[in-house]
Amino acid sequence: MPDSPVLVLAGAEEAPLLELDAYRAAGGYLQLERARAMPPPEVTQELIDSNLRGRGGAFFPTGRKASFIPSPDKVAKPIYVTVNADESEPGTFKDREIMLRVPHRLIEGCLIAAHAVQSKQVYIYVRGEYLAEYETVQAALDEAREAGILADVEIVIHRGAGAYICGEETGLLESLEGNRGQPRSKPPFPAIAGLYASPTLINNVETITTMPKVLELGPKEFAEIGVPPDSTGTRIFCLSGNVRRPGPYELPHGITARHLIEDVGGGVPDERSLKAVMMGGSSFPVMTPDDLDTPLDANSLGQKGYFIGSGVVTVIDDRTCIVQFALRVAQFYMHESCGKCTPCRVGTRWLVQLLRAVEAGTAAERDLDLLLDVCDRIIGKCLCVLGDSAAMPVASCVTKFRGEFREHLEHGGCPFGGDSQLDGLFAPSDQHVRGREALA
């Protein structure tokens, strides 16, 4: 691996880069000046040439997305930029790091994006639970406004109130419009009819914050980092779980999961062995140990049925019952399903019921097939990807660890006998059930 450049978190390796003066001393806002001196389509072209792709999970080419926004003379409506800072994917904590450590770079990215699509209004939708993050970005924003950096662009921070589904782009727009955050059917896509039915560019925090660095390095040099042509640049990998040194690590695309876990993260502690990796986020198939040498770039992962997602690498060691893991993941999606479409609303409940029965040892072999069948009836059949996100990890656990699922049936219960790390883990959905019982 060549020397690993730090781009997004540059200047904040030791301490957060919070003050405007300090950010400027580190070259901050110079790329905004450069961008504003360029015709907007040229800025978009640089993003296209860099092949920067969305860091929120979908990995869509950022420049292409910006190019879908019509120019202001073609539409009689305002054009909006919306930043998705509703980071809630289990295992993900990178956008939080950005907001706490380089808030001005996020603002610079917002203003570059606004210039690229000729927008005068930016909304940053910050997850409701992120209080310190909101305060940090708001303070930086006030400072930038005071210094005249915003010029004729207005940036408003809009705080969420606890709903995973608002990280889905159209759910976010609904929420920002003051509605329940239920996703819309697409098309029309946000680039054509997004916020208030106007053309809207939506980007994840990490994606937006990478933009100043794309301009600073130039698209050509940026595109040489990582695994060109498709997985360019760096990622803030979110390493957590049963690993000695968990943390956010900004590294180029293409490092292997093994390198990240063993060399960077110090390996699995307590002389345990690695059983599985929650790869990309809880919404994706789990990785088994035989695939640890897969480079973490979209194509290498894709060839083996994995996703890079939001850069999550959560290590699960052999003390964990995989049925309990699948159950806890399914409970999360059941809790967060917005209820708008049937396969997700009903399917996530089925998954939880079936997994509970497996864990209790009351299920039969045919229930394992039924689990896969329910997953199959969810995947690709919902309005948004939340359904897929519930079904993919569960299906992968059943398929890859079928022997362990079967042991539960043969054993008449969990073979870990209460010693699994996730044993009895309480889920917020249990809390709601209790609330309803109390009312009855």
Q: How far is the CB of 161 from other proteins (least distance, A)?
A: 4
| Cα 247–chain centre separation | 16
On whether the CB atoms of residues 98 and 236 are closer than 8 A, the answer is yes
Q: Does 425 participate in binding other proteins (rule CB under 8 A)? A: yes
Please identify, using beta-carbon distances, which residue of 112 and 329 lies nearer to other proteins. 329
Q: Does 72 participate in binding other proteins (rule CB under 8 A)? A: no
Q: Which of 41, 247, 267, 295 binds other proteins (CB under 8 A)?
A: 247
- Whole-Å CA distances, 253 to 10, 172, 223, 249: 17, 28, 11, 12
Number of residues assigned to the chain: 440
269 closest CA partner among 329, 313, 319, 311: 319
Q: Which pairs from 56-64 meet CB under 8 Å and 24+ separation?
A: 56/84, 56/167, 56/203, 56/204, 56/206, 56/207, 56/310, 57/89, 57/204, 57/280, 57/281, 57/283, 57/307, 57/309, 57/310, 59/298, 59/308, 62/203, 62/207, 62/211
Label the pairing between strands 231-232 and 234-241.
unpaired
Q: How far is the CB of 19 from other proteins (least distance, A)?
A: 22
Q: Mask of contacts with other proteins, 105-144, x by CB under 8 A?
A: ----------------------xxxxxx------------
- Cα separation, 26 vs 37, in Å, equals 21
Q: Mask of contacts with other proteins, 5-44, x by CB under 8 A?
A: ----------------------------------------
Q: How far is the CB of 349 from other proteins (least distance, A)?
A: 17
HSE of 368, CA atoms in CB hemisphere, 13 A:
20
Q: How far is the CB of 404 from other proteins (least distance, A)?
A: 17
Please identify, using beta-carbon distances, which residue of 288 and 299 lies nearer to other proteins. 288
Q: Mask of contacts with other proteins, 279-318, x by CB under 8 A?
A: ---x-------------------------------xxxx-
Q: How far is the CB of 156 from other proteins (least distance, A)?
A: 5
Q: Map the footprint of other proteins across residues 219-238, applying CB under 8 A.
A: 238
Q: How far is the CB of 231 from other proteins (least distance, A)?
A: 23
Q: How far is the CB of 422 from other proteins (least distance, A)?
A: 5
Strand partners, 270: none
Q: Does 398 participate in binding other proteins (rule CB under 8 A)? A: no
Q: Does 382 participate in binding other proteins (rule CB under 8 A)? A: no
Q: Does 82 participate in binding other proteins (rule CB under 8 A)? A: no
194 closest CA partner among 211, 169, 217: 169
Q: Does 345 participate in binding other proteins (rule CB under 8 A)? A: no
Backbone angles phi, psi at 256, to 5 degrees: -90, 160
Q: Mask of contacts with other proteins, 153-172, x by CB under 8 A?
A: ---x-xxxxxxx--------
Given the rule CB under 8 A, which of 33-41, 290-298, 361-369, 416-424 is the region that contacts other proteins? 416-424
Total site size for other proteins, rule CB under 8 A: 68
122 closest CA partner among 144, 94, 101, 92: 144
Please identify, using beta-carbon distances, which residue of 282 and 389 lies nearer to other proteins. 282
Place of tokens 């603002």: 107
Q: Which of 26, 30, 346, 427 binds other proteins (CB under 8 A)?
A: 427
Q: Which of 28, 31, 43, 87 binds other proteins (CB under 8 A)?
A: 87
In this structure, what token pair is assigned to residue 363? Answer: 């299920």
Please identify, using beta-carbon distances, which residue of 46 and 87 lies nearer to other proteins. 87
Q: List contacts with other proteins (CB under 8 A).
A: 78, 87-93, 95-96, 127-132, 156, 158-164, 175-182, 196, 238-242, 246-248, 278, 282, 314-317, 320, 325, 328-329, 332, 335-336, 338, 421-428, 430-432, 434-435
